[in-house]
Structure formats: structure tokens, C-alpha cells
Amino acid sequence: MSYKLLKQSKKSKARRGQVKTRRGILETPFFMPIATKASVKSLTFEDLKELEAQIVLSNTYHLMLKPGNKIIKRAGDLHEFMQWDRPILTDSGGFQVFSLSKIRKITEDGVQFRSHIDGSKQFMRPEDSIQIQLDLGSDIIMVLDECVELPAKREYLEKSVDMTTRWAARCKDYFGKSTIRELQGDKAMLFGIVQGGLDKDLRKKSAQGLTAIGFDGYAIGGLSVGESEKDMYEVLDYITDELPKDKPRYLMGVGRPENIINAVKRGVDMFDCVIPTREARHGRLYLWQPAAEKANYDVLANQNRCYRQINIKAEKFAQKFEPINANSRFPVLKKYSKAYLRHLFSVNEPLAIRLATLNNLEFYLNLMKKIRQAI
Amino acid sequence: MSYKLLKQSKKSKARRGQVKTRRGILETPFFMPIATKASVKSLTFEDLKELEAQIVLSNTYHLMLKPGNKIIKRAGDLHEFMQWDRPILTDSGGFQVFSLSKIRKITEDGVQFRSHIDGSKQFMRPEDSIQIQLDLGSDIIMVLDECVELPAKREYLEKSVDMTTRWAARCKDYFGKSTIRELQGDKAMLFGIVQGGLDKDLRKKSAQGLTAIGFDGYAIGGLSVGESEKDMYEVLDYITDELPKDKPRYLMGVGRPENIINAVKRGVDMFDCVIPTREARHGRLYLWQPAAEKANYDVLANQNRCYRQINIKAEKFAQKFEPINANSRFPVLKKYSKAYLRHLFSVNEPLAIRLATLNNLEFYLNLMKKIRQAI
């Protein structure tokens, strides 16, 4: 059993539970900080432990090119390489193939593309993606899927969904053969990815196809790629009902705090997003409103205006000598002032990004804790 | 008494002692990490404490322009602004005026220059430099001096030395009037700066002029600006004898480990240099040779080959899975591998600079500890 339900909300589809991985139990709903290139930008493993991050996400596409999955395998695995002993989820590499490589060709066999680093020709079959993720020692492995750019013609979308399902079956097959030598208790998990754009029938077809194959968890892909929030919520409104209750559901690449809250209410358990770390690099800080700081604040019932975002680079912070965040667990965020952080950004000191990243990830992980408490 | 001699080496002019500041006692010889813009690049105050840094140096020129000394004064002082409660030494701003501002005009009154940031016209008299450093709350304040570019005509150099001495007297006068209201025990220290290029007579004249005025310590300026190491050591060979035995001596902007060792042997007590932090940003790491790791290794007697420098970006480290530094006090340097650090540099992850900076500053501060033990 990969998912254990602990509590089902009576007000919404929100659910609290646990995902059992070979590296320990994950309390859901949870958020995964992104360690694209085997590093959550500017943070160490000590920082991530202090943040109480349960799991991080790494990107297969980036790591297969640099330093290369073979080098990481020689280091032991990605855990050993980046000194992270808690679970790691890796994506399939597909999303970056489609978003970073301009020149690519998709066939039934797999996807041909050119490295965005050196232009070298690469070919990735579904089996290759699984093998690379096995090399990395990932605890949650994603199948290779095609993430179709929207809007797309229904005909193309349907063909794509069917191929993605066939690719998922090949992934499962390869994964099963590769992991058969491992002890059952030590096995990684394999997740399928539901596609189908904004087409309800295709989404359901995708979910049914994947469920028939059977995976340890189900991701909802192809959202938060430019469509409206309303469209995204509409898909979520029906898609979680199509997925097994006893498996975790993962909404890929989402999102802003309100997106996460709304997705939790629609039955999603797992999230990842570049927003907290990327916005940190631009000086945009997430901070709780005073009312939401309270221990038993119900973030699901009162999601509106529970937080604010400030642009610390703004002139108005030049003389704000109050702490960056008086309630942070980090002495550096409790002691350094907003004026100091603003100064660090204005003179391009690298410490600026580190402080802002700590702040935003602490906010996001606290958000998930508040969500779990509220369910 | 600003300097207390604890031990005079019998083998050289090396001496171990203490400098008493209003924020505590500094064990000499010591090295000051550089917090140019109120931040030792990529490090927090927690890191600096863990490094056991006794004191840091900040640059008046940069801080007066950004965020501005008035803003720092409103924060309390530079200690409060950068959350550093141990001593801070500030330079006068003169060196950067001469090195960063292309357009500048020196008169008896002071120096006119244009900001390298926005081109705005600025004027700095010796009194202005002291006032800015008082605004910053510096514990060791430097007089404004002219740092002459070498080679220079003797006539110009002599005029410059004489003016620098008159400027020093004005600084002392202004400093005395400004600090008369403060309690004696809370007073900052004021250091004079010996100039005179490579001219022995001018150097001696400068030292005598400053000694006659009387300062809390004496810096040796205008070295490590392009002259040979031999030339630098020649100046040091005679100049420390011209300075009072009961005051600390500070060699500005020096240097590589062997330069520091050779200067200590010539009677110098204080050092600062961008080398450890700047080289860290380029992936050049300082590491001890195994023999020198031992607790009672005499670094003054065996300075040759006591350390090595590696370029962690080199291809040969791609698969070196050994720790960055197995003997470091930092878990991150003991656990992360050289291969991982090389990877971080190769993909421009900001963590790379932080790890390399911690490594190099730990090396430099250990070097000073080894020097103090060896005397």
C-alpha cells in the first residue's frame, strides 16, 4: 500500500495521509523543493533539514547532461552525491526535452532532441528515462510522457494520450524487470502521469489507461502550462475521482499558495514548483499575515489574504530596520533586517538569494504544515 | 595601551600579542575577512562565528555610496546593520577612490572624485572619511591617505608623503574632537598609515611623522600593489623597527599565505586580503598538506609546501568522490565531495561559492592560529 489515508475532510475532497517510501514516510499533502541540478539553489543539506523538507525533486534532463547519470551512479547515487538521505523524486526528463530543446522529434519509439548545453544529439526512449532515474537512485520515478503544448488539436491530443499510455506501460515493464532483483522493501515507486489537456474525455481516458496498468501513484501533468486557473481547477474537479483512492496524487509544477490550497481541496497530495525559489532570486518574499501566524489558523477555510508578497528590492524597504521575519526558525531571518536584505539585493551580494530562498521555502513548508493541520 | 606583547620569537621579529578594542581582545597575528559591502560574500554572521573570525574589515567607499553611511547610522551602526557584534575595521575609502574612480583630483583639502556607480561628483576631506567611519561605528578607523601608484617620481612621492602626514594630523584632530564626548573605554581606535613607496628614506620619514602625531596602531600601506615580493619584504625589513613596539602593526591588503608568514617574521600583527574570498569564487581552494594538518606543526619554520591550491573546476575532479576537506569543522565540507563541488561550479550553482569561501576562510584563519601557536 503506497498511500495510507489518515483523515478525509468533510468540507472538501482534501485528505491527509502518508506516502510510504523506502526512505521513510511522507506526510501528505506535501511540497517538494526543487533541486534541479542536484542543489536547491544556494542551500545545503543542513538548511533543508532545518527547513524540515521531507523530500526534494531533481530533474533528470539536467542531471543526465551534467554531471551525467553515470557519474552520479559512480558516486553511489544522487542521495550520496548531494548528501540528501531523505526521499528524492525525479521527473522523467520529458518536460525539459519539450520546453528546453527547440529541435526535437517524437516517434512511437521515443524522443530525439538536442542538448541545450552543447547541441549534441540525444535520444530518449521511455526505458532510457527509467534507467537514468534508476541510475540516480530516485525513490519516486516518473514515467516518460508527452507534455503537449496548449492549445492543441483534439486529434493530436488523443494520439498523444494514447502514446503516453503505451509509453507508461513500457516504463512499468522496464521498471519491473530492472527492480526484480531488488528486495521488495527497497523498491523505488513508479508514478504514471495523466495527460489530456483540457479535454475531459481524454483526461478520463488517460487516467483509466494508467489505472489499468497500475502505478504506485498518479501525477496530473500538463497543467499550469499557460491555461487559466479556472481551467486547471475544472480538470482537478473531476480527475482525482478517476484515480485510485489508495494511491497518492501529484499535481506537477503547481503552484502559488492559493493554487496549492485549491488543489488540496480537490484531493491532491503532492506538489512541486519553482515559484518559491525562483521568486526568491528576484527579491519577492512570501510572508504570513499576522492572523495566519497563529498556530491553529485554518488556512483552508481562510485562504484569502492569509499571506502577502513583498518586493524587498523596493526603495521603501531601504530604512525598514525590522526583521525579515520575526517568527522564522532561522536566526539569520530573525536578526537581519529588511533594510539589510534590500541592500544585499541592491549590490548583488550572493547572500541575498540565500536569505530570500530560506524565507520562501520556510513559508511554503509552513503552508503545507498548516494545510495538514487544517484537514 | 592598545597592544600587549605576549611573546617575542627568538628566531625572527615575529610576535604574539593582543589588541584591545572596545568590542573585546584580538589575538595577534590575525587575519580579517573582507565584508566589502557589509557582507563577507555568501556568508552569514553565523558562518563567521563558526569560522571563529575575530574581526572583519568593511570598505568605507562602497558603504558611503550604497546603502550610504546615513542609512547605516539610522540602523544603529554597521554592527547592527550586518549583525556582527565583534570588532570591525574600516578603511578610509581612499584606496578605492584611487583605484575605482578614474576621474579624481587631489588637493591639500581632500580628494574630488566621481562615484563609480552613478558618476555623481563626490568630495572627501580627511575629516569626512573619519566622520563616515564614525557614522559606521567602526572599531578601528583608518586615516585618509594617498596611495601613490608605482613607479612614481621621487619628488611626487615625497610631496605625497608629506601631505598624507598632514592629512593624518587632521584626522587625529577631528577624531579627538568627535570622540571627546564618548567614554574613554568605548572609544574606537585610530590608525595611521605609513606610505613612501619603495623609498627607504620616505618610508622612515612617514613613520616618524605619524609616530610624532601618535596613533593607536600603524598600518603599512602602498604595498602589494604590483611591486615584487622581494621589494615588499625589503620595506618590511626596516619599517617595523621604525614603529612603536607597544602598538599593533597592520600590513594592508596582504596577501598569499607565504606573504603573511614572511610579514609576521618581520613583525607584522594584522592582515586583510581579498585572496581567500576572491579565489574561492574562481574555484581555487586552499588545502593543507597532510603533514601541516598536525596540531603542533610549526608553520613558521616549515612554510614551504605546507599547503596546496587546487582548481576544483578541473576535469580531474569530476570523479573525485572524497570529501572537500575531511578535517574541516564544517559538516558541509566534510560530507560534500570534490566531485560535487566541481559539478556545482560547472553548472553555476550559487552554493559553489559559499562552500569554496567557507573552505578558504577556514584555511586562512587556521593559518593564523598555526602562526600564533608557532611563535
A-to-B residue pairs, Cβ atoms closer than 8 angstroms: 114
Contact with chain B for residue A115, Cβ under 8 A: no
CA distance linking residue B176 with residue B189, whole number of Å: 11
Q: Residue A145 annotated as binding?
A: yes
Question: Which one is catalytic: A47, A91, A139, A216?
Answer: A91
Model confidence at A179, in pLDDT bands (50, 70, 90)? Answer: low
The ipTM is 0.97
* pTM metric for this prediction: 0.97
Quick one: angle between helices B229-239 and B257-264, nearest 10?
Answer: 20
> Which pLDDT score is estimated for A94?
87
Mean pLDDT of chain A: 95
Contact with chain A for residue B71, Cβ under 8 A: yes
DSSP state letter for A318: T
Q: What are the domain boundaries of chain A?
A: 3-272, 280-374
Question: Which one is catalytic: A77, A128, A216, A272?
Answer: A272
Binding site of B for substrate, by residue number, is 91-95, 145, 195, 222
A chain contacts of residue B44, beta-carbon cutoff 8 Å: 332, 336, 351, 354-355
Residue A184 has pLDDT above 60, yes or no: no
Fold of B3-272: TIM Barrel (3.20.20)
Indicate the residue type of B310.
I
Secondary structure class of A355 (helix, strand, coil): helix
> Which pLDDT score is estimated for A182?
55
The answer to whether the CB atoms of A82 and B340 lie below 8 A apart is yes
Contact with chain A for residue B61, Cβ under 8 A: no
> Which pLDDT score is estimated for B118?
87
Q: Residue A195 annotated as binding?
A: yes
Element holding B251 (H helix, E strand): strand B249-251
Q: Residue A91 annotated as binding?
A: yes
Contact between B11 and B266 (Cβ < 8 Å): no
CA distance linking residue A133 with residue A127, whole number of Å: 10
Chain A residue with CA closest to B357: the answer is A350
Q: Return all residues near B370 (Cβ < 8 A) that are at least 6 apart.
A: B292, B297, B299
- Where do runs of H (alpha helix) occur along A83-146? 94-100, 126-136
DSSP state letter for B336: S
Higher pLDDT, A224 or A28: A28
CA distance linking residue A242 with residue A205, whole number of Å: 9
Element holding A170 (H helix, E strand): helix A154-179
A272 catalytic, yes or no? yes
The answer to whether the CB atoms of A354 and B349 lie below 8 A apart is no
Residue A258 has pLDDT above 60, yes or no: yes
Binding site of B, by residue number, is 91-95, 145, 195, 222
A1: burial class by Cβ within 10 Å (0-12, 13-18, 19+)?
A: exposed
- For an interface test with B, give the residue of A343, A345, A348, A353 to mutate (most B CBs within 10 A): A343
For the record, the C-alpha cell of B280 comes out as 574561492
Contact with chain B for residue A274, Cβ under 8 A: no
- Before B257, cis peptide (omega within 30)? no
* Out of B67, B321, B343, closest to residue A38 by CB: B343
For the record, the C-alpha cell of A266 comes out as 480537490
The full DSSP string for A21-67 is ETTEEEEESEEE-B-TTSS-TT--HHHHHHTT---EEE-HHHHHHTT
A162 catalytic, yes or no? no
A177: burial class by Cβ within 10 Å (0-12, 13-18, 19+)?
A: exposed
> Which pLDDT score is estimated for A180?
61
Q: Return all residues near B280 (Cβ < 8 A) that are at least 6 apart.
A: B353, B356, B357, B359, B360, B361
Mind listing the pLDDT tens digit for each residue in A143-155? 999 988 888 899 9
Cα→Cα distances B263→A186, A281, B137, B247, B275, Å: 59, 42, 29, 16, 16
Task: Considering only the C-alpha atoms of chain A, give the largest distance between any 2 of them, rounded to a whole number of Å.
Answer: 62
CA distance linking residue B198 with residue B332, whole number of Å: 44
Contact with chain B for residue A289, Cβ under 8 A: no
The answer to whether the CB atoms of B340 and A75 lie below 8 A apart is yes
Mind listing the pLDDT tens digit for each residue in A283-335? 999 999 999 998 889 999 988 789 999 999 999 999 999 999 999 999 999 99
B chain contacts of residue A45, beta-carbon cutoff 8 Å: 332, 335
Q: Residue A113 annotated as binding?
A: no
- Before A276, cis peptide (omega within 30)? no
Supply φ then ψ for residue B288, to 5 degrees.
-75, 145
Question: Which one is catalytic: B91, B139, B216, B269?
Answer: B91
For the record, the C-alpha cell of B151 comes out as 613607479
Q: Which of A5-14, A180-189, A203-212, B20-29 has the lowest mean pLDDT?
A: A180-189
Contact between B51 and B37 (Cβ < 8 Å): no
CA distance linking residue B184 with residue A236, whole number of Å: 71
Contact with chain A for residue B44, Cβ under 8 A: yes
Mind listing the pLDDT tens digit for each residue in B320-338? 999 999 999 999 999 999 9
A131: burial class by Cβ within 10 Å (0-12, 13-18, 19+)?
A: middle
Contact with chain A for residue B332, Cβ under 8 A: yes
CA distance A351 to chain B (A): 4
Contact between A20 and A1 (Cβ < 8 Å): yes
Secondary structure class of B155 (helix, strand, coil): helix
Contact with chain A for residue B46, Cβ under 8 A: yes
CA distance linking residue B360 with residue B279, whole number of Å: 8
Give the mean pLDDT of A76-101.
92
> If we measure between CA atoms, which residue out of A247, A173, A165, A252 comes closest to residue A212?
A165
B chain contacts of residue A76, beta-carbon cutoff 8 Å: 321
Residue identified by cell 529541435 is: A103
- For an interface test with B, give the residue of A349, A355, A358 to mutate (most B CBs within 10 A): A349
Mind listing the pLDDT tens digit for each residue in A96-136? 887 876 678 999 999 998 888 888 888 999 999 999 999 99
Q: Residue A197 annotated as binding?
A: no
Q: How far is C-alpha B125 from the chain's CA centre?
A: 23
Ranges under pLDDT 50 in chain B: 183-184
The answer to whether the CB atoms of A354 and B37 lie below 8 A apart is no
* Cross-strand bridge partners of residue A284: A311
CB neighbours of residue A350 within 10 Å:
18
> Which pLDDT score is estimated for A115?
85
